[in-house]
Amino acid sequence: MHKILVSRCLLGHRVRYDGGASGPFDVLQQWIDEGRVVPLCPEVAGGLPTPRAAAEIPGGQGSEVLDGLTSVITVEGQDVSAEFLNGAHQALALVRQHGICIAVLKANSPSCGNRQTYDGTFSGVKVSGEGVTAALLKRHGVLVFSELELAEAGQALATLN
């Protein structure tokens, strides 16, 4: 049975930066019941507390953080790139350990956003880009979806079975 990496906040775990959760969602509960879900919050796994200061990537490109070209900065001005990178590499380790090729990660997150992230100005502006974890997983061939694309994730899963 194929496993799926899922952001813990989407499973109802209160691990978001603001101490909240974003789920759960019915299809994710079905996958939990089937034993498919491998949960992870890359930011918490990387060493950040809950709650924590909001963080964004200047320019919104997680791939640039992976390449050492930019940093993840909190609204307070603290560089938290090391924690974001640590969490991303823990996600990749789980992907390898469980043979995962599909992930469902939190939309717009500086870790998990798969299509858009915030632009680093803390003004609510989104740009095309991906979070640090999403970028690393994509580099390693994982199909990354958000909670806005659960139907698409389900279709991708069906093609694996």
Cα separation of 62 and 26, whole Å? 29
Which tokens in the block code for residue 12?
């109802």
- Is the pLDDT reported for residue 98 higher than 70? yes
The model's confidence at residue 111, banded by pLDDT at 50, 70 and 90, is: very high
Which tokens in the block code for residue 140?
């390693």
Residue for token pair 């079975």? 161
Residue-level pLDDT at 1:
86
- The per-residue pLDDT for range 56-67, each reduced to its tens digit, is 999 999 999 999
- E-strand ranges in 82-134 read 102-105, 116-118, 126-128
Cα separation of 86 and 127, whole Å? 24
Residue-level pLDDT at 102:
98
User: Average pLDDT over the chain, rounded to whole?
Assistant: 96
The model's confidence at residue 25, banded by pLDDT at 50, 70 and 90, is: confident
Residue-level pLDDT at 89:
98
The pTM assigned to this predicted structure is 0.96
**Distances, alpha carbon 48 to alpha carbons 32, 91, 153, in Å:** 25, 15, 28
Q: Classify 79 as helix, strand or coil.
A: strand
- Is the pLDDT reported for residue 24 higher than 80? no
For the residues 96-123, what does the mean pLDDT come to? Answer: 97
- Is the pLDDT reported for residue 120 higher than 90? yes
- Non-local CB neighbours of 7 within 8 Å, separated by 6+ positions: 22, 39, 40, 41, 104, 105, 106, 109, 112, 147
The model's confidence at residue 161, banded by pLDDT at 50, 70 and 90, is: low
